[in-house]
Chains A and B, each alone.
Chain A
Amino acid sequence: MLLTESLATFGRYCMFMTRAFAIPDRWSVFGRRTIAEVSKLGIGSIPLVLIISVFIGAVCTIQMKLNTSSPLMPAYSVGLATREIILLEFSNSILCLILAGKVGSNIASEIGTMRVTEQIDALEIMGINSVNYLVMPKVLAFVCFMPVLVVFCMFTAILGGYGVAIFTDIISVSKYEYGIQAMFTEWYVWYAIIKSLFFAFIIVTISSFYGYYVKGGALEVGKASTDSVVSSSVFILLFDVILTKLLLQ
């Protein structure tokens, strides 16, 4: 029962995606909408990313120091471990889980509201491919802007840890500086960016999918928005495992 239902949903998702990936009716309109989405979904997320990264970076540094204080560990290991956590998981998976909440619910409720107020029908009646019109600019905008958010997140999180080194006596600045540079693997940055591209795609398409097929009224829009966050989070975690296995082995 559950299996057939999931398969049916997956089938509908695939059909939804084939409608999304069509030639836009008007390129100029498509371009304008994409730029608007970059500003709304991408640039609009920067404040949130900034706040979260600074604090998590700081907390990571403090926790590392408190929990790994052993005479056997070199002092710079705090900076090193903080950096690895940020690069490997925080700047992509955790960040995307958080963005699934912000961006995903925003998309699902926006498209869901358009559905229940018949705006999507109005698009269809004009002969517009509404899936393509609504979803493609969001996908393109968010997937392209995601690397910017990831790099920005890495940078600010490491700065957060740096703040701890400067303003407290938990760890010395020179040890932290040495730690964040020690044994650096450039591939980890690429790994984070590659993963985040998949996650961005998951967030936008799944939440659009949930919004697009809302039936009913405002209540169902709220439910669709919650459901979309849950599903995209699950898929982000699932793909995190798969991609980590593929990319880091």
Chain B
Amino acid sequence: MIEVRNLTKSFDDKTVLHGVDATFYTGKTNLIIGQSGSGKTVLMKSLVGLLRPEEGEILFDGRDLLKMKRDEIADLRKEIGMLFQGSALFDSETVLGNVMFPLTMFSDMNRAQQRERAMFCIERVNLLGAENKYPSEISGGMQKRVAIARAISLNPRYLFCDEPNSGLDPKTSILIDELLSDITHEYDITTVINTHDMNSVLGIGENIIFINKGYREWVGDMSQIYNTSNEALNNFVFATRLFQEVREYVAEHGTIAKRKS
């Protein structure tokens, strides 16, 4: 469980996060949603210590990140996997090299085992056959999937994904969502996902935190989102015609058929 209390972060004199409170549960897919520019990436980077907030507490199962020393943070980070919005793959390594990288740095496996584990992760993101290509030789969506494979290769306890399915087609997007949801439940990971993809929100949102202009505006799960009275959230979620109709359908029939059933 990760608890965030009163998190405030500014750049120069522009405050991006205003006293955000949030709880991210273990074994659940926790979604941070919000418009472009609302502060999702800044929140996520603060959570993992890449940005230093001016105020607040970030408790990783009780351990306060903001009070840790550099080597304590390094130790904590060995339990963290992260997917960056821009993938951040190492240009000089192949797909396989990228996925194997955390294993070579931190695991006790031998080379063959590392390779096997990496190939397993590559398979889970549907990229078999691309393992010997360089990041510059594959598409943006494929890069994203490589980055996911790299983030999960060490079986992290905490998984952070900044827009895992932006730039992916709907089908691959669902595949990635399901992968993230599956590993979260399978390995009991605390997963935090930034997204503004409504399919993900309605598909895997077990704990949804809505950020609006740097304020935490709403918290709930995917079933509560249909009948929220929060205006900002309504405008955000039901911005498209399709989702307006989905809401009407749900109001009539109670629910939509579950995707995975």
**Residues of chain B with a CB closer than 8 A to A26's CB:** 104-106
* Given A125-B50, A128-B105: A119 in contact with B78 (beta carbons within 8 A): no
Contact of A127 with B by CB under 8 A: yes
**Residues of chain A with a CB closer than 8 A to B77's CB:** 124-127
Instruction: Give A119 to B78 CA distance when docked, in angstroms.
Output: 16
Which residues of A does B touch, CB under 8 Å? Answer: 25-26, 29, 113, 117-119, 121-122, 124-129
Within 8 Å by CB of A119, from B50, B73, B88, lies: B88
**Residues of chain A with a CB closer than 8 A to B74's CB:** 127-129
**Residues of chain A with a CB closer than 8 A to B106's CB:** 25-26, 126-127
Instruction: Give A25 to B78 CA distance when docked, in angstroms.
Output: 12
Quick check: B48 and A125 within 8 Å, CB to CB? yes
Quick check: B50 and A117 within 8 Å, CB to CB? no
> Chain B 84-98 against A: per-residue CB contact (8 Å), 1 yes, 0 no?
101011110000000
Quick check: B88 and A127 within 8 Å, CB to CB? no
**Residues of chain B with a CB closer than 8 A to A117's CB:** 86, 88, 91
Instruction: Give A118 to B147 CA distance when docked, in angstroms.
Output: 12
Quick check: A118 and B84 within 8 Å, CB to CB? yes
Total number of B residues with any Cβ neighbor in A under 8 Å: 22
Quick check: B104 and A121 within 8 Å, CB to CB? no
Within 8 Å by CB of B88, from A25, A29, A121, A129, lies: A121
Quick check: A121 and B50 within 8 Å, CB to CB? yes
Quick check: A122 and B82 within 8 Å, CB to CB? yes
Instruction: Give A242 to B50 CA distance when docked, in angstroms.
Output: 40
Quick check: B104 and A118 within 8 Å, CB to CB? no
Quick check: A118 and B78 within 8 Å, CB to CB? no
Q: What distance in Å separates the Cβ of A95 from its nearest Cβ neighbour in chain B?
A: 27
**Residues of chain B with a CB closer than 8 A to A25's CB:** 105-106
Q: Select from chain A the residue with minimum beta-carbon distance to B75.
A: A127
Contact of B102 with A by CB under 8 A: yes
Quick check: A119 and B91 within 8 Å, CB to CB? yes
**Residues of chain B with a CB closer than 8 A to A29's CB:** 104-105
Q: What distance in Å separates the Cβ of B96 from its nearest Cβ neighbour in chain A?
A: 16
Q: Select from chain B the residue with minimum beta-carbon distance to A122.
A: B88
- Which residues of B156-195 have CB atoms within 8 Å of chain A's CB atoms? none
Quick check: A126 and B90 within 8 Å, CB to CB? no
Q: Select from chain B the residue with minimum beta-carbon distance to A126.
A: B102
Instruction: Give A17 to B90 CA distance when docked, in angstroms.
Output: 23
